[in-house]
Amino acid sequence: MQLMCILRNEENLTLPLSYHEIVQHFIYQSLAQRGIAGFLRREGFRDGSRKMKLFTFSRLIGNYSLNLEHKTITFYKDIALVFASPVELIVWELAESLLKSSSIWIGGCALQVRDVFFEDSTECSDELEVIMLSPITVYQTPINNGKKHTVYFSPFEHAFEQLVKTNLERKWRLVYGEDKSSGDFSIHPLEVSTSDKKVIRFRDTVIEGWMGRYTLKGDPGFIKMGLDAGLGSKSSQGFGLAVATDGLLYKVLLRDDHIPKFEKERSLAGP
């Protein structure tokens, strides 16, 4: 299930360019009022030695200006944020927290919740066009000369699709408690250019990811899992959030004139 909140910004909201951790903190703070944040932070959902939070979120979407000298981004007026999880309880808990709050805080700035929208693609087709609202990242960590290093892959490399599929199979196992092959699931870049490559710092880690438009094909259940749990790795750090271009949330973003601004941001090189 996906949730989109429209936040009204009475004052300018200025954040560092790599603000994913700040938004993640806001989400945990909102869920803390409902009692589920502690479980997600400490335990999460375990698959062997791996731990996943099973949620993802978008970048902030709205009118903004950049200060490259100070490496900051300033948002004005209304801001959209999309959150998703295959665990509906998490989505409803966040929604209730938002709707009961007179104001919420992001980066030390108070914002009011103007609207909340939901989309649950229970009847996904076997082919869907999506736009990334936060970058997809997939990687491997080979060991060379006794040292581990991280190799990120672009949507134009074969390993990219295979790693997305493997990640979806892991998320499926966590949600449904059973193994299922992603089979003929595929993800193909539809409108992706070099400017869609984003390099983002999350805490002490530099992460490479890709924005853009993609076509998802295959089992509708896996397509829905990609929308709800995120495509690729590091979902709970704000990576891999996609929305269907024929869906409600995308239409609301178009209505509020957010998508043209977001497409402009996509075209900018950098974070």
Determine the pLDDT at residue 200: 92
Last residue of a domain, one of 119, 139, 155: 119
Q: Are residues 27 and 87 in the same domain?
A: yes
Tally of helices (H runs) and strands (E runs) in the chain = 7, 18
Domain membership of residue 106 (yes or no) is: yes
Q: Which residues contact 58 (CB under 8 A, 6 or more apart)?
A: 80, 81, 82, 83, 133, 134, 238, 241
| Domain limits for position 258 | 127-266
34 residue type, one letter: R
Number of domains in the chain: 2
Cα–Cα dist 158/176, whole Å: 28
Residues 38 and 160 placed together within one structural domain of the fold: no
In a domain, 271, yes or no: no
144 and 14 within one domain: no
pLDDT at residue 36 in the model: 64
Please indicate, yes or no, whether residues 67 and 113 belong to a single structural domain of this protein.
Answer: yes
Q: Which of 119, 142, 169 is at the close of a domain?
A: 119
Domain at 163, CATH number: 3.30.70.1900
Reported as a single tens digit per residue, the pLDDT across 114-147 is: 999 999 976 778 999 999 999 999 999 888 877 8
Of 161, 178, 140, the residue nearest 218 (C-alpha): 161
Q: At what angle do helices 220-229 and 158-176 cross, to 10 degrees?
A: 90
CA–CA distance, 95 with 88 (Å, rounded to integer): 11
Q: What is the pLDDT of residue 44?
A: 55
Same domain? 159 vs 213 = yes
Q: Is residue 20 part of a domain?
A: yes
Same domain, 97 and 167: no
At residue 53, the pLDDT reads 81
On whether both 105 and 139 belong to a single domain, the answer is: no
Does 153 share its domain with 68? no
Q: What confidence score (pLDDT) does residue 269 get?
A: 47
Q: How far apart are CA 104 and CA 29, in angstroms?
A: 9
The per-residue pLDDT for 242 is 97
Domain match, 133 and 262 both:
yes
Q: In terms of domains, do 64 and 151 share one?
A: no
Residues 154, 24 share a domain: no
Which bin fits 211, alpha (ψ -120 to 50), beta or left (φ > 0)? beta
Q: Taking a C-beta distance cutoff of 8 angstroms, is the pair 244, 177 a contact?
A: no
pLDDT tens digits, 69-123: 999 999 988 899 999 999 998 999 899 999 988 889 998 899 999 999 999 976 7
Any domain includes 27: yes
In a domain, 195, yes or no: yes
pLDDT along the chain (271 residues), means of 10: 92 92 91 65 62 88 91 92 94 91 89 93 85 96 83 96 96 91 93 94 92 96 96 96 94 76 55 56
